[in-house]
Amino acid sequence: MRNIGRVALVFVLLVLSGAAAFSPGRAAACSCIIPDNARAAMEKSAAVFAGTVESVKTVRKGSEAYYKAEMKADESWKGVDEANVTVYSDFGSCSFGFETGKRYLIYAYDNQERLDVINCGRSGKLMPDNEMAAADLKELGTGTRYGAAALQGDGGASDTGERNALLWAGGAVVLLGVCFIVWRTKRKGERR
């Protein structure tokens, strides 16, 4: 019985030493510390902007590989002073998934004089079900606008609300005017 215990112990030690000897090399995981709010994220970022991805390319330089996204910014809060912006995302667990034609809120970080985006920050696709991005846009307020957004707004919630209020007010004025004209016409008819 003692021999079975010793054999089992030797077997376990062999398995553990073999696992240690043949374990894979260093593994890199994406370490995520997401800022609590838009202001905190903006403080840590080199650039903060909203824009649409026009193209995504894979770039390789020696052993380094990354995605290069050409974007058209429509609004900027920090670090972007023109509509055409290039951002990068390294391959690996932290790479950001850009989709051509989609609009994003981007918090980019300075990486050797290029703007990098990672997937575990506050950057995200601007779409109705992305509550964090919607809250960030509200917290950031109005930024510097480019292109069509500079001329007419981006159709965000505040622009739509203001536009609806103006339409209702204008409609009310027209309705009151029509009622006044009808009332005055009837009154003149009664006097004759």
Answer whether 38's CB lies under 8 Å from 109's CB.
no
In this prediction, residue 48 carries a pLDDT of: 96
In this prediction, residue 126 carries a pLDDT of: 92
Pick the CATH number of 38-151 from 3.30.420.280, 3.40.190.10, 2.40.50.120, 3.40.50.300: 2.40.50.120
Task: Dump strand ranges (E) for the chain.
Answer: 47-61, 64-78, 84-90, 103-111, 114-116, 124-125, 144-145
Give the torsion through C-alpha atoms of 99, 104, 109, 113, to 10 deg: 60
In this prediction, residue 184 carries a pLDDT of: 73
pTM, to two decimals:
0.62
In this prediction, residue 120 carries a pLDDT of: 78
In this prediction, residue 78 carries a pLDDT of: 96
Give the torsion through C-alpha atoms of 104, 109, 114, 115, to 10 deg: 0
In this prediction, residue 64 carries a pLDDT of: 84
Q: How confident is the prediction along the chain (192 residues), in pLDDT tens digits per residue?
A: 555 555 454 444 444 454 444 444 334 456 678 888 999 999 999 999 999 999 999 999 888 888 999 999 999 999 999 999 999 998 877 788 899 999 999 999 998 889 999 887 899 999 988 999 999 999 999 999 987 665 554 444 444 445 555 565 666 666 666 656 766 777 776 665
